[in-house]
Amino acid sequence: MGRKRMAGAGKGGGRTFFTTLKVRLYPSPEQAALFEKTFGCCRYIWNQMLADQERFYLETGKFFIPTPAKYKTGAPFLKEVDNQALIQEHNKLNQAFRVFFKNPEDFGYPRFKRKKDDKDSFTACNHVFASGPTIYVTKDGLRMTKAGIVRAKFHRRPQAWWKLKRVTVSRTRTGKYYCCILYECQAEEREPLLPAPERTTGLKYSVPHFYVTDSGEMADPPRWMKRSQEKLADIQRSLSRMQPGSRNYQETVQKLRLVHEHIANQRRDFIHKESRRIANAWDAVCMRDDHIEDLAKGVSLGGVLDSGYGMFRECLRYKLERQGKPLILIDRYAPTTRTCSACGFIREPVHYKESSWSCPKCGALHKREVNAAKNIKAQGLTQYFRMEKQRESAQLCG
């Protein structure tokens, strides 16, 4: 059976979406000094606005955040950096209070920023004037306000019709500068694919294999990632035997930060490649809506939080969505592991270390994770078609 598309779906023009390119910056000493000054000014203006907002609320009982322009007279150094970076701090603080008032249980009260705890970054928006845009990409760099053209390394180039909206410059703890460039893009509306069982896969999270599919395919993390983790353990052992504050200690801390950054990059590369491969190979993907922190509590020494499975699920979601394909999430509490995929019998709870089991009703022998992936796929397809039927009924009634 070939691929099917829902009749009449997706017609009616293009849609707008946003994409981000992350590039490595190589600023000159003067540009690096300007970036460092901008980081400090953004942190300063945030703390000043937050303190004044709290003081104003205590005195009047009303909510008000002053604009950055009110602080430039008393702090002339704010005029030396890009004004757009300060305006974005004001917008971020407003947004932080907005989500806090809307849902205080999930979003905490905005806190003051400290240099040793806060991530060094600033955001600047692009404005297009008659003389040209304030931020644009050149052949081998990025032109920014105040800083001029900063040399950059692009892993891919933006399309000509993409609109540059804003940039976010950040500095890692290892001293490297990066820039995330946000683009607004126009694309033709994809017709949603109607998932067929033979074109759908089910994924089950696995501690030793990252994930297992309903066909038994496993995605083991690359060997070079394991070697990097072993190198990290060696450096940590060496660091534990050194005198804190000594020169060797400081040099080893820098090595530790570099290895941590290298592992994070390796994990991100693995996740993007795996999610892209799956998104291109299948018309629909079924997964369980697992809460990663809950999984980490139930599995000891499994490295669940370090696996990046949550990031993998999010990358898979948006890559499928851009191709008109669905990511189907079933209930996280569904008993997929202890349900027989052959007859539907539900057995007693299964220990996560048990790799296989035999169904007491039909006698089928199951590999625990492959069986769970089969159940995830079956339940996901049933859930998807049930929701589509309800949607069509609602449209007919409307």
Instruction: Determine the Cα–Cα distance for residues 287 and 201; give it in Å rounded to an integer.
Output: 9
The mean pLDDT of the chain is 88
What would the pLDDT profile of 134-188 be if each residue is shown by its tens digit? 999 999 999 999 999 999 999 889 988 899 999 999 999 999 999 999 999 887 7
Q: Which neighbouring-strand residues pair with 200? A: 284
| Residue 45: predicted pLDDT | 96
CB-based contact 208:219 (threshold 8 Å): no
Residue 280 clears pLDDT 90, i.e. is over it? yes
Average pLDDT of span 205-210 = 84
Give me the residue label for tokens 């851009």.
322
| Residue 350: predicted pLDDT | 67
Residue 3 clears pLDDT 50, i.e. is over it? no
| Residue 372: predicted pLDDT | 92
pLDDT band for position 291 (50/70/90)? confident
What would the pLDDT profile of 105-115 be if each residue is shown by its tens digit? 888 999 999 88
| Residue 220: predicted pLDDT | 80
Residue 298 clears pLDDT 70, i.e. is over it? no
Average pLDDT of span 254-276 = 91
| Residue 1: predicted pLDDT | 39
pLDDT band for position 127 (50/70/90)? very high
pLDDT band for position 90 (50/70/90)? very high
What would the pLDDT profile of 309-322 be if each residue is shown by its tens digit? 889 999 999 999 88
Going by C-beta distance under 8 Å and a sequence separation of 6 or more, which residues neighbour residue 250?
none
Residue 229 clears pLDDT 90, i.e. is over it? no
**Residue 65 CB-density burial (10 A; 0-12 exposed, 13-18 middle, 19+ buried):** middle
Average pLDDT of span 346-355 = 76
- Who wins on pLDDT, 355 or 373? 373
Tokens, residue 394: 């609602």
What would the pLDDT profile of 9-46 be if each residue is shown by its tens digit? 443 446 888 999 999 999 999 999 999 999 999 999 99
Percent of the chain predicted with pLDDT > 90: 57
Residue 198 clears pLDDT 50, i.e. is over it? yes
| Residue 282: predicted pLDDT | 93
| Residue 277: predicted pLDDT | 94
Tokens, residue 370: 């492959």
